[in-house]
Amino acid sequence: MKIGFDNELYLKMQTEQILKRVEQFNHKLYLEFGGKLFDDYHAARILPGFDVNGKILLLEKLKEKTEIIICINAVDIEKNRVRADLGITYDVDVLRLIDSIRKMGLYINSIVISQYSNQPSADIFKNKLERRGEKVYVHRRISDYPMNADSCYESNSYIKTTKPLVIVTAPGPGSGKMATCLSQIYHEFKRNIHAGYAKFETFPVWNLPLSHPVNLAYEAATADLNDVTAIDPYHLETYGVTAVNYNRDIEVFPLVKTILTKIMGADKVYKSPTDMGVNMAGYCITDDEVVREAAKQEIVRRYFRTCCYYNEGLLEIGAVEKLKLIMKQLGISPEYGTAVKPAIEKSERDKCPAMALILHDGKVITGKTTNVLVAASSLVLNCVKTLAGIPDNVHLISPTVLEPMIMLKEKILCDKNPLLTLWEVLNALSICAATDPLAEKCLHKLQELKGCAAHSSHMISKSDENALKKLGVNVTCTPNFSSDDLYSN
């Protein structure tokens, strides 16, 4: 894989910048952490070389000075909002975050449930956490926030913190991170602790052009939120320097500035939304062409994902249209995705759902739905056989393993779709590897699929999609249903 980003330089520069901001505010900083602490695959895809866990590695370097508050919106709990890249709900992701953060040796102070208005699911989630010994605070929903911010913050409980750096993070956007930071600063100043606020967002990258594919990929990733990148007018007016930010930060800045001025005093308040940020990612790009190409591929991936979500009723047509405009702006089409054309050609040729994957050496591997396997299963088996140098006509899964699995699905479980899923095939391959050296060799070749691009001519099951993601495959799907059935078990 071509590398276009220096992750070591990034960790060094980002650490220095955060510590500098902590010192600026008398060694008490509330840092709003946007994006994902773990598994930031979006950043890794468009900045090749970026570590998917780069942010948590950054905090690990600062763990002696750091504690963490995790926010989640009560409305997201109630609506079972799903984190698209992992396929889990936001409340489950909070549990995952807590476990993962603690394993890194970092201290979690508490969890804040924002926008709370007695939602039953939020109450259950709060009870679950408290009964496991976690500190949980609720910030009630107030309709005219932030116009009456003082009274809002006064009604919020004060969260006692002891470290110089307090990270406020969340499983996704709209979780109440900024409101929690500002509420805490309000309460700190009441206690004569002159705390500060800053924001850490990887995207958009403030010192890249507005039309750079990396910043357009951010718009593509947030099409459902209708986020747009824009020139920061406050930064341009104050410093005469062009900087890129996004609409929500620009729109809310006058209110944030007013709130911070009332709390902190005019001499300590930022002059622009860009001033609030501590993002150094733009300085760590080592190959702009590599990054541009990766961002274009990501935009195509987002287009296909958005189209699939639209067909499933999860998004409105406006998100699809926005992705089309972004691609048009860059002069690319859906077929720009490297694996798209071979997958569609395979499907049309064999008259069935098919998939294609591009190996790291550029070789195209295809697979199709058979009378035993779904297309994803065929594809992965074909890939590992190619990587292991095993002829196509060699069967990796023994009939003594395969036949009982099919019998179980058809005769005992009465599954209307008895084709073996990718998870089932991977389990069967691992069983065969215990006695078959070829299967064992192929099992080890699975790790070479990480970072490869794949495309399906039809929408695949969530199970197969999750299995491919676990293997590190960047998969997209043409938004065609694989059958005319409205329900399948």
Q: Per residue in 14-55, pLDDT tens?
A: 999 999 999 999 899 999 998 788 888 899 999 999 998 888
Calculate mean pLDDT across residues 294-313. 94
234-263: string of b/e by CB count within 10 Å (b at 16+)?
bbeeeeeeebbbbebbbeebeebbebbeeb
On the question of a cis peptide bond just before residue 146, with omega within 30 degrees of 0, the verdict is yes
| pLDDT of amino acid 147 | 59
As a whole number, mean pLDDT of residues 467-486 equals: 89
Of 338 and 488, which is predicted with more confidence?
338
- Is pLDDT of 485 > 80? no
Quick: pLDDT tens for 417-447.
789 999 999 999 999 999 999 999 999 999 9
Q: Per-domain residue ranges for the chain?
A: 7-284, 339-477
* Residue 474 β-bridge partners: 453
In this structure, what are the phi and psi dihedrals at residue 46, rounded to the nearest 5 degrees? -95, -10
pTM: 0.88
What are 69's strand-pairing partners? 110, 168
Mean pLDDT in residue range 117-133: 96
Q: What are phi and psi of 481, to 5 degrees?
A: -75, 145
Mean pLDDT of the region 475-486? 86
pLDDT at 262: 82
What CATH superfamily is the domain 7-284?
dip2346 domain like (3.10.630.10)
The tens digit of pLDDT for each residue in 231-259 reads 999 999 999 999 999 898 899 899 888 88
Matching fold, domains 7-284 and 339-477: no
Q: Which residues contact 486 (CB under 8 A, 6 or more apart)?
A: none
pLDDT of residue 181: 94
Whether the CB-CB separation of 141 and 115 falls below 8 Å is answered with: yes
Q: How far is CA 76 from CA 126, 153, 220, 248, 472, in A?
A: 14, 22, 22, 19, 27
At the topology level, CATH places domain 339-477 in: Cytidine Deaminase; domain 2 (3.40.140)
Least confident of 85-89, 164-168, 237-241, 402-406: 85-89
What per-residue confidence (pLDDT) applies to 71?
A: 97
How does pLDDT run across 54-77, given as a tens digit for each residue?
A: 888 889 989 999 999 999 999 999
pLDDT tens sequence across 341-383: 999 999 999 999 999 999 999 999 999 999 999 999 999 999 9
What's the whole-number mean pLDDT along residues 398-413? 88
Q: Please state, rounded to an integer, the average pLDDT across all residues of the chain.
A: 92
What is the arithmetic mean of pLDDT over 288-301?
97
- Amino acid making up residue 196: G
